[in-house]
Structure 1
Amino acid sequence: MHKIWQSIYRANYISGYNPFLLKNMNKALERVVKAINEREKIVIYGSCDVDGICGISLLLLVLKYLNADVEYYLPEEQSSNYYVDSDIITNHIKFLGTALVITVGCSLVDKEQEDLCRNLNIDVIVTDYKNDLYKSEFITINPNQKDCSYRYKNLSASGVAFKLTQALAIYYNMKSINKYIDLVLLGGYAAKVSIVGENKVIFKEALKYLNVTNNYGLRALMNLNIKDNYSEREIKELIKVLTPTVNVVGRMDNARIVVELLTTNDEYRAEQIAKYLAMEVKNIVS
């Protein structure tokens, strides 16, 4: 374990910010590992903003790499963006044969919803960062929850998801986990988190990874702009393209196709999606 720790957290790499200092991280790791090893269905449930989408994409990429049986769900209604929807659990997630839901930037609503999940034999791991949320008895990873000793409280949704993937990387001896921090960079910028503490370290490293990214979707978007190096201004342009639009009835458009862009391993498909999203932004502006 010591060698694994050193390979991921040496000082000149991503940092020594121990994910296991987050309350309940050990419990979360144990539950996710069980789901992976026993081929239980995992569903990632996230918010439809760029931060949530980046966190979903990050978890999808890592869990698929670990050969997990994993899917994701994004609520279509703008109003349900930051809370788990009971109707979605009953009418969609249940029928996938789901054993474990991992949220990204959204939480359970109340005890009734918690009981619903238990009655359906669905475990939940909540990853979030917001204050004053319903305190579920399910596993919760949130730097702002009571009795969490983690020093850096201003992580974004994708940042908290990244901490979970760091724990998985330690357990499974994944030495390349930091290549995904370009997604955390985009999510954090979109969420407008303060760039101090751990965020400052992540963002500094992520800029290096972004400019040489092997993410087909990000590379396709960057190729459209033909930039040699990406600074804050160019990152904002990327975020603009990745932001799902809201139609007249308050439903989110393009959110799922953005997840596909960020997780595809098909270079041609990435190029087509990037062109489509860029055109959508151009049409909105014009």
Structure 2
Amino acid sequence: MRKFWESIYSPNYISGYNPFILKDMNKAIERMVSAINNRKKIVVYGIPNVDGLCAISSLILVLKYLNADIEYVVHDDSSVKSKITTKDIINNVHFLGGELLIALGIDLKSSEEEELCKNLGIDLIVIENRDINYEYDHIYLNPNQKGCQYRYKNLSISGLTFKLMQAIAIYYNIKSINKYLDLILIGEKSAKTPKKGENFVIIKEGMKFLINTNNYGLRSIMEAYNMISINEESIDKIIDVITPTINVVTMTDNARIIIELLITNRKERSEQITKYLNKSKENV
């Protein structure tokens, strides 16, 4: 596996980058492969900030590439203390027919929600990055949890989502997984992660993919602002454009529009959304 991993990640391979070193990653991939191959409904559940939206969008793109049956939900609160409640599970996950819930940057409120998922037949994967001193019964990816040997502890949620995407790529032999670093770079930069270790590699490699991006949404933003090169200023501008606002519509609705921009495969639609977002920013 190491030789294959080197070939799809980076010529500057460091053994610590292996996503399967993350505790519970093997379990997570087993659940995801079962859901993908058996066309079970997967619900990606994330938060309405730029890091969260880049995480949701990049994972959706990979799952769509694998022809997964997928829906997504944007939580209506971006605060760090916000959690998924029983109401959220019933109204936003079970209502969609969800059989696998992948929560990015947000955990369940209590064991009551975990029990509800079990009773409703919903498998659960949670990705977080925060200091904790207790263990979970569900599949939980967090480099700071007890027993996790992963070396790089300060990845953003989009960065950790990319680890899940890398593990999927290894299983399905997807050799183009690095092209999604354009979105991951933006998520990492918005989260202001330290520019060292794996974060440094993501930012460095992501810059190469961003300037040549084939993401219609990112390309439309770059064209709208005449970005012929990528630097700190241009990345900050992209972050500003895709930061949800609450002036005209709710943050959640605005976040869904941004996700549509980042996952669309239609150039005309991406240009239309970019113009809308630009107009919204002007009215703030």
- Please report the TM-score for the alignment, with normalisation by the length of structure 1: 0.93
Please tell me whether residue 124 in structure 1 is matched to residue 127 in structure 2: no
Instruction: List aligned pairs for 1:77-96, cutoff 5 A.
Output: 77-78=77-78, 82-96=82-96
| CA gap 1:68/1:133 in 2 versus in 1, 3 angstroms | farther
Whole-angstrom CA distance in 1 between matches of 2:222 and 2:249? 32
Instruction: List aligned pairs for 1:192-211, cutoff 5 A.
Output: 192-211=192-211
Residue 35 of structure 1: aligned partner: 35
Whole-angstrom CA distance in 2 between matches of 1:150 and 1:235? 28
| CA gap 1:199/1:48 in 2 versus in 1, 3 angstroms | same
Deviation at 1:14, TM superposition (A): 9.5
| CA gap 1:14/1:220 in 2 versus in 1, 3 angstroms | farther
Please tell me whether residue 266 in structure 1 is matched to residue 263 in structure 2: no
3-state SS of the aligned residue for 1:221? helix
Deviation at 1:98, TM superposition (A): 1.0
Is residue 35–residue 100 contact of structure 2 (8 Å, CA) maintained in 1? yes
Whole-angstrom CA distance in 1 between matches of 2:175 and 2:44? 23
What 5-or-longer segments of structure 1 have no aligned partner? none
Whole-angstrom CA distance in 1 between matches of 2:26 and 2:205? 26
Residue 145 of structure 2: aligned partner: 145
Whole-angstrom CA distance in 1 between matches of 2:131 and 2:248? 30
| CA gap 1:223/1:81 in 2 versus in 1, 3 angstroms | farther
Instruction: List aligned pairs for 1:1-286, cutoff 5 A.
Output: 1=1, 4-12=4-12, 17-78=17-78, 82-132=82-132, 135-247=135-247, 251-284=251-284
Whole-angstrom CA distance in 2 between matches of 1:168 and 1:265? 22
Whole-angstrom CA distance in 2 between matches of 1:59 and 1:37? 16
CA RMSD in angstroms comes to 2.1
Is residue 110–residue 134 contact of structure 1 (8 Å, CA) maintained in 2? no
Give the letter aligned to residue 66 of structure 2. Answer: L
| CA gap 1:144/1:80 in 2 versus in 1, 3 angstroms | closer
| CA gap 1:249/1:95 in 2 versus in 1, 3 angstroms | closer
3-state SS of the aligned residue for 1:254? helix
Whole-angstrom CA distance in 2 between matches of 1:73 and 1:251? 13
Whole-angstrom CA distance in 2 between matches of 1:207 and 1:228? 13
| CA gap 1:211/1:79 in 2 versus in 1, 3 angstroms | closer
Whole-angstrom CA distance in 1 between matches of 2:10 and 2:52? 28
**Residues 7-58 of structure 1, C-alpha deviations (whole Å, 9 max, x = no match):** 2134247986100110111110111000001111000000111101100001
Give the letter aligned to residue 51 of structure 2. Answer: D
Whole-angstrom CA distance in 2 between matches of 1:77 and 1:9? 34
Whole-angstrom CA distance in 2 between matches of 1:84 and 1:11? 39
Percent sequence identity over aligned pairs:
55
Whole-angstrom CA distance in 2 between matches of 1:120 and 1:29? 21
3-state SS of the aligned residue for 1:245? coil
Give the letter aligned to residue 163 of structure 2. Answer: K
Give the letter aligned to residue 230 of structure 1. Answer: I
Whole-angstrom CA distance in 2 between matches of 1:78 and 1:163? 22
Is residue 48–residue 251 contact of structure 2 (8 Å, CA) maintained in 1? no
**Residues 39-87 of structure 1, C-alpha deviations (whole Å, 9 max, x = no match):** 1100000011110110000110000100110110012345688422321
| CA gap 1:249/1:87 in 2 versus in 1, 3 angstroms | farther
| CA gap 1:133/1:115 in 2 versus in 1, 3 angstroms | farther
How many residues matched?
284
What 5-or-longer segments of structure 2 have no aligned partner? none
3-state SS of the aligned residue for 1:185? helix
Whole-angstrom CA distance in 2 between matches of 1:181 and 1:14? 17
| CA gap 1:99/1:134 in 2 versus in 1, 3 angstroms | farther
3-state SS of the aligned residue for 2:283? helix
